[in-house]
Amino acid sequence: MSSQAASAERGRIQGAKHDFTASYNGRWPHAYFRACLAVDYMLPDRAKPIFERIFADYRRIRNKTKLKIIDVGCSYGVNAALLRTDLDLDDLYAAYLEPSGSLSRQEGIEHRAFFRNLGLRDDIQFVGVDPSFWAVRYALDLGLLEAGVTADLETRDLTVEERSALADADILISTGCVGYATERTFARVYEASATSRPWVVAFVMHRFSYDDIAAALRAFSLETRHLERFRQRQSRFSTSKELRAILKAMAKLGIEDRLERTTGYIYASCYISAPPGEAL
Ligand SMILES: C[S@@+](CC[C@H](N)C(=O)[O-])C[C@H]1O[C@@H](n2cnc3c(N)ncnc32)[C@H](O)[C@@H]1O
C-alpha cells in the first residue's frame, strides 16, 4: 500500500472510533482523563498486571533488574505512572478530576510533588514516544519519563539524538495507540534499539490488525504470539454507530465479537514479540 493510501485507510479506521484527539495535546492532562473516564477507559489498568508479569519473566530470562521500557503512544505518562507506583487508574481519575483532588489544579509544583511523594520506583525507566508535545513534556516534567521522543514516526525518521534515547531498551509497550501508530512507527522504534533485542508487548484494540506490525518485527527476527488469555477490556462503546462500525471491522478481520456484543465494551488483544523461544 502506498503511504498516501495507508494514511487514508488509517483515517477511515479512526473515523468511526470515539475521537479523543482534541484531548491528546493539552498543556494539562485533565481533558484527557475526562475524555477517558467518559468512555470508562480502563486498558492501562487492566494491562498493568500483564505487563508486570511479562517484566518479571523478562528479568528472569535476561537476568536483569533495571529495565528500560519504551512506551509507544505514551501520552501523559499513564503507563509509567501506573507501573512505577501502586496507583490504579481510578486513583488517577480521582486525583485529576475530583474537584479537590491532589492534581485537580494546574500547579506543576503540586503535580511533581504528588508523584515524588509516592516514591516512583526507579528500577523501571520509561522513554515515551508520542507526537503530542504537551503530553510528553508533562510526563517528562513530572519525572514519569526519563526521556521523550515527540515525533510522528509514521511520517519521518528518528534523529540521531532520538535514536540514542531509544537505544538499549528492554521492552517496548503500547496501549491504545496501534491504529494511530502502524508498522512504520514500530519498525523505526525497534530499529533504534535492536542491538539489545527488546521484547514488544502491545495491547491492540479489536478492529485493528497486528499483522503488519508482526511482519515488520519478523524482519528483526522476532516471533510474535497472540496471547488470547491476556485480552483485556479497553473502554465502553460511546455510540451505537461506533459499535456497528467496530463489529463490522472485526467481522472483516475475522475477530470473534462475543464479548463486544454481550458487554457493550471494546476489548484489546495482547501480542508479545521476542526472539524465538525466549518469551512465555
Ligand atoms: C488513546 S491514547 C492512549 C494513551 C496511553 N497509552 C493510554 O493508554 O492511556 C492514544 C495516544 O496515541 C498518540 N498517538 C497518536 N498518533 C501517534 C503516532 N503516530 N505515534 C505514536 N503515538 C501516537 C496520541 O497522541 C495519544 O497520546
User: Does 24 contact ligand 1 (Cβ within 6 A)?
Assistant: yes
- pLDDT at residue 4, as a whole number: 54
CA of 154 to the centre of ligand 1 (A): 12
- Nearest CA to 88 among 58, 118, 130? 118
Ligand 1 close to Cβ of residue 29 (< 6 A): no
Residues of the chain with pLDDT under 50: 1-2, 5-6, 8-9, 12-13
Q: State the pLDDT at residue 277.
A: 87
The angle, 0 to 180 degrees and rounded to 10, between the axes of the packed helices 183-193 and 211-218 is 30
Structural domain boundaries of the chain? 3-274
Structural contact between residues 84 and 48, judged by C-beta atoms closer than 8 angstroms: no
Place of cell 526507579: 122
- Closest Cα partner for 149 from 181, 118, 194, 122? 181
Other CB atoms within 10 A of residue 75 CB: 26
Going by alpha carbons, the residue nearest to atom 18 of ligand 1 is 181
DSSP, collapsed to helix, strand or coil, labels residue 118 as coil
DSSP 226: E
Give the number of other CB atoms < 10 A from CB of residue 58: 22
Which distant-in-sequence residues (6+ apart) come within 8 Å of 195 by Cβ?
A: 167, 168
Identify the residue whose cell numbers are 478492529.
Answer: 207
- 3-274: CATH homologous superfamily? Vaccinia Virus protein VP39 (3.40.50.150)
Q: pLDDT tens for residues 88-127?
A: 999 999 999 999 999 999 999 999 999 999 999 999 999 9
Span from the CA of 22 to the centroid of ligand 1 (angstroms): 12
Determine the distance separating the centroid of ligand 1 and the alpha carbon of 75, expressed in angstroms.
6
Is 0.75 surpassed by the pTM of this model?
Answer: yes
Return the pLDDT at 238: 87
Query: What's residue 6's pLDDT?
Result: 46
- Let me know: does 213 contact 178? Beta carbons within 8 Å: yes
Q: Checking phi first, is residue 113 left (phi over 0); if not, alpha (psi -120 to 50) or beta?
A: alpha
What's the CA gap between 205 and 235, in Å, rounded? 10
Return d(Cα 191, Cα 19) in angstroms, integer: 30
Cell, residue 159 = 534523529
125 neighbors 74 (Cβ within 8 angstroms): no
